[in-house]
């Protein structure tokens, strides 16, 4: 009796499922083959989505990684150093007016200023700043002709900034600072030449201005030329 009851219930279940399928197929016009194809396609789409998700995650992780590429080192060969231009060749001087002057050299010592190293004003110019031989060096001039702060370019010497004056420096005369008497005689002496007037001064000159001029980044390659000339 139990066995018969089981088969009866199984048969009723199959009939019910068949009725449900028939009704579903009638309403949706889908067959079992269509449902199987749809399920297989959905599985493939899901698998592809998971694959792309994995790839995107790997890309995201790579982007988060710190950049470990080493920067290239730049080297300047001795040949390049030797081929560098002089300061005079590197700047366009033709845009500036020229004036003919008589240029001599001087030092901070007693032979030029009458001051010894123990003098409180030793090494100080009329403007109050210290004498210096640098990219922009201190020079003396007639302040009625070239006011304090006037910037010149003197061929064979470099940039000179009027910072001082002298009793014998009048008219078209200028005096160029050198660290020693030997430098004056070996490198300059006395010359008549055309100088380029880069900028006329306003009568004032400070250490801060000189520092700014001498720290010009584009001119640092020529600094050694000025300080060892």
**196-223 confidence digits (pLDDT tens):** 999 999 999 999 999 999 998 877 877 7
pLDDT tens per residue across span 97-153:
999 999 999 999 888 888 889 898 899 999 999 999 999 999 999 999 999 999 999
**Does the global pTM surpass 0.75?**
no
| pLDDT level of residue 40 (50, 70, 90 thresholds) | low
pLDDT at res. 64: 39
Contacts of 21 (CB under 8 A, 6+ apart): 32
Neighbours of 229 (CB within 10 A): 16
pLDDT at 84: 52
Q: Helices in the chain by DSSP H: which ranges?
A: 2-28, 32-64, 78-82, 87-90, 110-113, 181-187, 207-214, 223-227
Q: How far apart are the first and last CA of the chain?
A: 125
What 8-state DSSP symbol labels residue 179?
S
Rounded CA gap, 172 and 32, in Å? Answer: 111
Q: What is the pLDDT of residues 165-206, one digit of tens each?
A: 988 899 999 999 999 999 999 999 899 999 999 999 999 999
Residue ranges in 65-118 assigned as alpha helix (H): 78-82, 87-90, 110-113
More confident residue, 30 or 224: 224
Are 159 and 152 contacting, i.e. CB atoms less than 8 angstroms apart?
yes
Shortest CA distance to 184 belongs to which of 120, 125, 145, 139?
Answer: 139
72 pLDDT higher than 70: no
Q: What is the mean pLDDT of residues 76-87?
A: 49
Could you tell me where the beta strands, DSSP code E, fall in 157-207? Answer: 158-164, 173-177, 190-199
Q: Considering the chain, what is the average pLDDT of its residues?
A: 76
């Amino acid at each position: 009796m139990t066995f018969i009851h089981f088969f009866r219930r199984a048969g009723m279940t199959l009939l019910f499922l068949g009725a449900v399928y028939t009704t579903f197929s009638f309403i949706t016009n889908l067959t079992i083959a269509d449902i199987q194809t749809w399920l297989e396609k959905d599985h493939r789409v899901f698998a592809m989505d998971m694959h792309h998700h994995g790839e995107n995650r790997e890309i995201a992780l790579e982007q988060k990684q710190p950049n470990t590429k080493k920067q290239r080192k730049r080297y300047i060969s001795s040949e390049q150093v030797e081929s560098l231009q002089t300061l005079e060749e590197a700047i366009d001087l033709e845009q500036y007016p020229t004036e003919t002057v008589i240029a001599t050299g001087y030092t901070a010592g007693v032979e030029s200023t009458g001051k010894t190293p123990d003098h409180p004003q030793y090494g100080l110019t009329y403007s109050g700043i210290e004498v210096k031989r640098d990219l922009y060096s201190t020079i003396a001039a007639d302040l009625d002709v070239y006011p304090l702060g006037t910037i010149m370019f003197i061929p064979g010497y470099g940039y000179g900034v009027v910072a001082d004056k002298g009793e014998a420096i009048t008219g078209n005369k200028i005096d160029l600072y050198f660290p020693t008497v030997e430098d004056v005689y070996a490198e300059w002496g006395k010359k008549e030449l055309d100088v380029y007037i880069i900028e006329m001064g306003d009568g004032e000159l400070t250490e801060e201005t000189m520092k700014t001029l001498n720290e010009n980044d584009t001119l640092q390659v020529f600094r050694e030329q000025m300080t060892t000339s």
